[in-house]
Every structure is written in structure tokens, then in C-alpha cells.
Chain A
Amino acid sequence: MLSRVAENLYWLGRYIERAENAARMAHVEYLAAIERGGQTGDGGSFWEPLLRASGAAHAFRIAVEQDSDLSPAYFLILSEDNPNSVRSSVVQARGLARAARELISREVWEEINELHLSLLGRAEVRDEDLYDLCRAVKRSVETIIGLYDHTVLHDEGGAWFRCGLYIERADMTSRILDTKYHVLLPAVSEVGGPLDRFQWMAVLRSASAWEAFRKVYHQDISGPRVAEMLIFHPVFPRSLRFCVRALGEHFRQAAVLTPAMDRLPAERSLALLELDMAALDINRVLAIGLHEFLDDFQRRLIEVQSGLTDQIFRAIPESVA
């Protein structure tokens, strides 16, 4: 398959997943904040962790200097100045889908295009619309992924798409955890209060993990248990372990025809990452330090991506180089 197109499909997977994550997190944070009471009028404070998790905190501070009326919800969902907003991700995804249209089905293309059109038509996000808007985005993204599964060949292109999807999901789950590690592991004196419980629940909901958590842990909710679920659960489809394993499987399918020397760097980084995810457990992670572990995890995802980009997507063919 064309290298350029393989890269397009990989990024299509990333942006599609990014749009869904951004919508889900905005929605969860918003509800949690309302429930905690009274904070919604309070500028960016309750949005701050969310802005950090989506890597937009700095851009938001700059944007607010330009426009003091700018709402965080608008910035996270609709702003085109925020490269990680839902809309920006969908615009990117739509451009990539358009450039790879002959490889995706008409159904997938139309769903992406309709999602794009629905966001183009929006000028503002009012509090009362937030729920419906985020829900519509999530459903649309799930529809796209479902259609991709059921109407597009499960061939190399599909495997690159899923590589993008799982690396993005792994990245996002680790970011959610990282911005909340101080919430997950507070000083001993504060542990176990009702406030903690609400915050842990919010973390789980940000990763669509609340109901799964209840099924897995029959004991009380606690920070380490939340972290364990989101990092190590073998069959929870958003845990780091699950995502890394899925990424590895799809990568091996995608790169099966790639010359061995070209796929080696990504293959090696991924193999080491898979090994660690299988060998470590939550106690070891807490001993290393949760933040340090997550920092290293993100660095290693970047390493995998460099291997893909430099050696596979943009490789210079040997017979010509």
C-alpha cells in the first residue's frame, strides 16, 4: 500500500479517537463539576485539568488574553485555535479521509463528512447543549469505528487505521491519569473522604471505565485501584496494557510486508513496551512513582511513532537512495 496513504490512515485513526476522547472528557468534567456544585461560573478552574490532559492549557491561556469572554467549553470543543479541540480533530480527520477516500467505504466517508458538517454549522456551545453535543460526537465516532470494522477490508490499511486508534487511546488514557495523579494518590491525611470518591469516579468516567470498574472491583473505590484498572486491566479496552497489546497486534499485521530493516525500530520499541506492560504491576509502578511511570510511557509511545514515521511512512526506498 502507498506509504503516504498508510500514514493518512494511521492519522485518521488518531484524530477520530482524539475527537471522541475530547468530547467524552469535556462532558464528564462538566457534569462532575456541576455535581460538586457551584463551580461552573468559576472561569477555567474546573476545566484546568481537562485542558492539561488534552494538551491545551497553554494555548487556552494565550487565547484568553486575546478574548476574555472565551469559554473553556468553546475552546475545548469548537475552537479552531485549539489544535486538539473536537472540531480541529474532526477537520483533520475529514481532510485525511478525503485524501484516502478510495480506501475507506462510502459509509465511513459519509459519517465522517456528516460529523464535520454538523460541527461546521455550530457557532457556540451553551451549557444546556453540552450534553447533547458531546453525546452526538461520541456516537458518531463510535459509528465511524463500527462502520470501519464492518464495511472496510481488514487489510493493511485497516491495520494502520487501528494502530492510530490504539496509540491515541493509550496516549489519552495515560494523560488522563497523569493530570490526576495527585487526585489519585493524595497525601495520607486526606485519603478516603467523600470528595476523593467523587474525583476518582470522575477519572473513571473520563475513560468510560466506571461500570467496568464496578464489575472488576467489588471493594471500595481507591486511587491505586483506579490506577491499576486503567493501566493494567487485561481486557478493559481503554487500559494501557490492552491498548499496547492491540497496537502491537495491528502493527504486526500492518507491517507484515514491510522490509525487515524498515520495520525494526518500531517493532523493537513496541516489543519492549509490551514486555514491560506484561511484567509490571501496580505496586511496582507506585514504587517507581506514578507520574514518572506515565512520563516514561508517553516517551516510549513517541519512540514507536518515530519508528513508524521515519522508517515506514516516509522511508526512502533503498534501491533509489
Chain B
Amino acid sequence: MSYSLIEGYRPPGVDEMLEASGLPRPAYADLLERLERWGPEGFQTRQARADLALLNAGITFTVYADEAGTERVFPFSLVPRIVGAQEWRGIEAGLVQRVRALNLFLGDVYNEQRVLRDGVIPADIVFGSEGYNLRMVGFRPPLGVYAHIVGTDLVRDQHGRFVALEDNLRTPSGVSYVLENRTVMLRVAPDLFPEARVASVSDYPVRLRNMLNEVRPAGVSAGDVNAVILTPGAYNSAYFEHTFLAQQMGIQLVEAADLIVHDSVVYLRATSGLERVHVIYRRVDDAFLDPIAFRPDSMLGVPGLANAYRAGNVTVVNAIGTGVADDKVVFRFVPDLIRYYLGEEPIIPNVETYVGALPEDLAQIRAHLKDLVVKPANASGGYGIVIGPQASDAELAAASSAIAENPRNWIAQPLVEFSTVPTYVDGRLQPRRADLRPYVLTGETPWVLPGALTRVALKEGSYIVNSSQGGGSTDTWVLEAGDAEGVEGVEEVAAS
């Protein structure tokens, strides 16, 4: 059958929907047939209904730099991104492997420090990381878990394999969009789902709540766990997600001023008096958790929280000090950490990464600046990135001198020609680059949500998928076993 929707669809490289031959992969063939039936009016009315549903639900994010109306709807693309069951199994195994190794690494660098003595990673890189927190030395959180919630950014590279771009171990956001995108799709495009074998994402809040119970402090029984979400407040860009998760888990959403520490026990200020808190899922950075411990000049945070944590009276999720493992410089060493701690070969390779802190890498960055993407080691949200091949001479010169000034603060990666997904533009489908952020929860054991946030660079030719920079998102379908395998498996990749 021929598809009018994909006439003129010309992916610049590897595409999620079309094979190199130009034919749709089997997993997309059914979807395309159903999308064809919509016609242009069908797309328009569904898009309008989806946008209105998101707006009415207040599913918005805040753009700090934007003065007019600070709340915006996250642009939503109606065409789902599909990941086949077999390929997903590989991703799942690769993520579990990564998260296990990262948690072992965190336990090690804050305790025995074997990894440093064995020379797997230079000590000055670990101790020089902004995320390394001296307060954590000699402390081990419940179950030895530091990174309870991890969102790893993956992309499919020009060879067709998924590679890791970065691990988010501090306060990864976006999972609410995974759930809300699915809710919206079920509402406006129910006709796409029958027989598609799409894995459900709806039990994430239950799994998250169970995990928070599992990592409770010693001496608290499972039925009595008072867990809360700590938010910076209604002006934070991810506030919608904080309220969403609190609501879905049925736990209280608190601000720092609602909490009080007395004799190293954390309480919240309730109308009934003080109420003890056992687990804090915090959505604020380390620096704003406890002014006594981390920022004597700050009014923000809960004075005494770090002590209560070290006393074992409250569990902080993710642990304080996990930032050292999502440092972009430490990232370069994650494959080595997997080999070191688990004795396994990494299932998901890292994107090639050069760090300014290593002399041999720095030489490579200097020599190939024009071909590399340069990123600050300690920033997120797509800020401060210089894309060599697209940068002006002046921008390259500025980047070069910034790197010379503080090499530790910069890393560089080749420009990955990452894969495109179909998105609906002006009456037909067009390829746009997209990444994939799956989520891993770790309590007693790691669990991977069978779904992910797919962020799409909606501007033609763009590589930047961040919502703060013109990115949108789409529903991500992880297919359950028995589907038509559409996309080449990671198994091949691991072997290659």
C-alpha cells in the first residue's frame, strides 16, 4: 500500500519510521495505515483537542527567560514514537546495568574509595566535581541506594544503535509528561491503540510510592511511612510535575518552610501540630536542601535536614551527593565503571566523550573544536552548548577561550546525527530529530518504566530537543512481546 502521508518524507539519516529502503518498518506500518484514515481534518481536530486538553489540564512548564506569560504548554506531536519489544529488552538490560554500576560507584566514592585507589577514574575528577558532597563521606543510605530515580538520555546514532548522552541522577524530570501524553493520546486518538500491544505506563506512581516505602529509615514499619515531595514552589519550571506526582501517589507536597527539624527528626507543620516525615522525595538541588550544611548565606532549605539524614531518621531521595555521578566529566568513565564493578561489557555504549580535565582529551578538543559539540560540565536544560559545525568563528573563539580558562568545566562530544521520528507538519509527515529518556526506579531492585519521554526538536534541522529551547514531545510506545519487530535490536549493537 502507498501512503500519501509520507510523500516527500526524506530523513537526513537513520529514521525511526522508515528503513533505509524507504519502506516503513513493520511496527510503523499499521500505525501509518490508521493515520492515513484521519486525513488532514482528522489531524487538525485531534491536534486541537490535544492542545486544548493540555491547556485545560494546566500541563505547562515555565520558561525563565520569557517575560510574556511564564506558563506554556509543552508542544505535543500526535504521531507516537515506537520502540519494539526486542529492542526495548536490550535498553532495559542496559539501563539496569548502568544504574547498578552508578549506585555502586556512589557507595564506593563516599566510603571505601576503591575505584580511586585502583586508578579507574582520577581522584581529582571525583573530588573536583561540584556534585561531590563531603557531608556524605562515611554514610550509607538505606539499601545502599543513592540514585533511586534515574533518567538517562539516549539517542539512536548514525549506525542505528542507541547510545547514552547523559545520566540524570539528581532530580530528573519529565516523567509526568510520559503519563500525560499517554492520557491525551488515549483521549484523542483511541483508534490507534487496538491490537497495537502498547505497554501501559500507568503504574509508575504506584511503583514510585512503593520504592519510597522500601527505602524508609530503619525502625519504621512499611505501613507507617510518611513520604512527602519537597518542591521549590509554584514558580519552579517543573511544578506541574511535582503536584502531579504528589496527587498520583496520594502524598503531601511540601515546601522547605513547611518542614522543621527537631532533635535530628524531620517534621512537617500541620494543623494537628508536628507530624513526623520519614522519606523526602526532593525536587530541589543539594545546595538548597539545608542552609546550615550547604549554604550558610542562604535562607532557603530546611535547617538541620542534613544532620537528620545522616542520623538515619529520614531518607532523602535521590541521596545528597548523587551529582558526582551525573557530572558530565564522570560520565566519560561510566563504561569503565560498569566493567570495574560488574565485570560486564556495557550494553548501551556511551557517546564518545572528551573531557577537558584529561590532557589527551583536551588536545583532541582543541584540534577538532569545529567538529564537536562543546558543553559545560555542570549545566542542564541545553544551556551554554556550542555546536561546532553550526557555530560562527566568533562563537568558536569564545568557546575556545572559555575552555582554556577552566578546562575541567568543559566536555566535548562529536555531533551525533541522531535519528528522526515522524511528526505532522502542514498536511504530511516530516522527520524531526528526537531523543529518548527512559526512567529507572531503584528500591530493593531496579525497575524500568516501559515507556519513555521522547523529546522532539520541532524546528526543521534542529538538534536541540529541550523544552526550554523549542522542543516538543510525543507519546512513546514500548511494544509488548509478540509485536512485529520493527527496529534493529540492541543485541546486534552489543555484539558489534
**Smallest CB-CB separation from B69: which chain A residue?**
A120
Report if A113-B274 is in contact (Cβ < 8 Å); known contacts: A4-B255, A4-B258, A99-B234: no
Point out the residue from B234, B271, B274 that lies within 8 Å of A156, measured CB to CB.
B271
Could you say which of B26-34, B207-215, B262-270 contacts chain A? B262-270
CB neighbours of B254 from chain A (8 A)? 2
Of the residues B239, B247, B255, B274, contact of A317 by C-beta under 8 Å: B274
Can you pick out 24 interface pairs between chain A and chain B where the beta carbons lie within 8 Å of each other?
A1-B252, A1-B271, A1-B272, A2-B258, A2-B270, A98-B58, A98-B234, A98-B239, A99-B234, A101-B246, A102-B243, A102-B252, A103-B247, A110-B57, A113-B56, A257-B272, A258-B271, A259-B272, A312-B271, A317-B267, A317-B273, A319-B262, A319-B274, A320-B274
Which of B253, B257, B269 touches A102 (beta carbons < 8 Å)?
A: B253
Known contacts A3-B271, A6-B271, A99-B234; is A117 also within 8 Å of B55 by CB? yes
Residues of A1-36 at the interface with B, using a CB-CB cut-off of 8 Å, are 1-6
B57 touches A1 (CB 8 A): no
The 9 closest A-B pairs by CB, nearest first: A102-B246, A257-B272, A101-B243, A102-B247, A113-B58, A102-B253, A6-B271, A3-B269, A114-B56
Shortest C-beta distance, B212 to chain A (Å), equals 15
Which chain B positions have C-beta within 8 A of A259?
A: 272-273
A3 to B56 CA separation, bound complex (whole angstroms): 28
Count residues of A near B (Cβ-Cβ below 8 Å). 30
A95 at the interface (CB under 8 A from B): yes
Which of A4, A110, A117, A318 has the most C-beta atoms of chain B within 10 angstroms of its own C-beta?
A: A4
Contact call A109/B58, Cβ cutoff below 8 A:
yes
A4 in contact with B58 given A102-B246, A319-B274 (CB within 8 Å) = no
Is B399 interfacial (CB 8 A cutoff)?
Answer: no
Fill in one digit per residue for A93-121: 1 if any B CB lies within 8 Å of its CB, else 0.
00100110111001001100110010000
**CB-defined contacts of B55 to chain A, threshold 8 Å:** 117
Closest A residue to B260 using CB positions:
A320
Are the C-beta atoms of B257 and A4 separated by less than 8 Å?
yes
| CA–CA, A258 and B270, complex, Å | 9
Beyond A102-B247, A317-B273, A319-B274, 15 additional contacts (C-beta under 8 Å) are A1-B252, A1-B271, A2-B270, A3-B258, A102-B246, A106-B247, A110-B56, A110-B58, A113-B57, A257-B271, A258-B271, A258-B273, A313-B271, A317-B269, A320-B262
Residues of A within 8 Å of B262, CB to CB, are 319-320
Q: Which residue of A lies closest to B249 (CB)?
A: A102
Given that A102-B243, A102-B247 are known contacts, is A5 also in contact with B56, CB under 8 Å in the complex? no
Q: Which of B43-77 contact A (CB under 8 A)?
A: 55-58
List of B residues within 8 angstroms of A102 by Cβ: 243-244, 246-247, 251-253
Question: What CA separation (Å) do A317 and B259 show in the bound complex?
Answer: 11
Q: In the complex, what distance in Å separates the CA atom of A106 from the CA atom of B268?
A: 25
A255 on the B face (CB < 8 A): yes
Shortest Cβ distance from residue B302 to the other chain A in the assembled complex, whole angstroms: 13
Complex Cα gap A193–B342 (Å): 95
Q: Flag B262-306 by CB within 8 Å of A: 1 or 0 each.
A: 100001111111100000000000000000000000000000000
Name the residue of chain A whose CB is nearest to the CB of B247.
A102
- For A117, the chain B residues whose CB sits under 8 A away are 55-56
Residue numbers of B with Cβ under 8 A of A are 55-58, 234, 239, 243-244, 246-247, 251-255, 257-258, 260, 262, 267-274
- The tally of CB-CB contacts under 8 A between chains A and B is 76
Q: Mark A299-321, 1 if CB is under 8 A from B, else 0.
A: 00000000000001100011110
* Bound CA–CA A259/B21 (angstroms): 73
Known interface pairs A2-B252, A3-B271, A258-B271; A317-B260 also in contact (CB < 8 Å): yes
Complex Cα–Cα for A4 and B255 (A): 9
Cα A102 to Cα B244 with chains together (Å) = 7
State how many angstroms separate the Cβ of A94 from the closest Cβ of chain B: 9
**Whose C-beta in chain A lies nearest to the C-beta of B253?**
A102
Bound together, the chains give a CA A110 to CA B257 distance in angstroms of: 28
Asked if A98 contacts B243 (CB within 8 A), the reply is yes
Q: Within the assembled complex, what's the spacing in Å between the Cα atoms of A296 and B474? A: 59
Interface residues of A in 113-142 (CB under 8 A from B): 113-114, 117
CB within 8 Å for A3 and B270 given contacts A113-B56, A320-B262: yes
Pair A5/B252 contact, Cβ less than 8 Å? yes
> Least Cβ distance of A62 to chain B in Å?
27
Within 8 A of B (CB), among A237-269: 254-255, 257-259
Closest to B245 in A: A102
- Chain A residue nearest to B58 (CB atoms) is A113
Evaluate whether A95 and B271 lie within 8 angstroms (CB atoms) in the complex, with A2-B252, A113-B58, A320-B260 already known: no
Q: Report the minimum CB–CB distance from A123 to chain B (whole Å).
A: 15
Of residues 61 through 95 on chain A, the ones whose CB sits less than 8 Å from some CB of chain B are 95
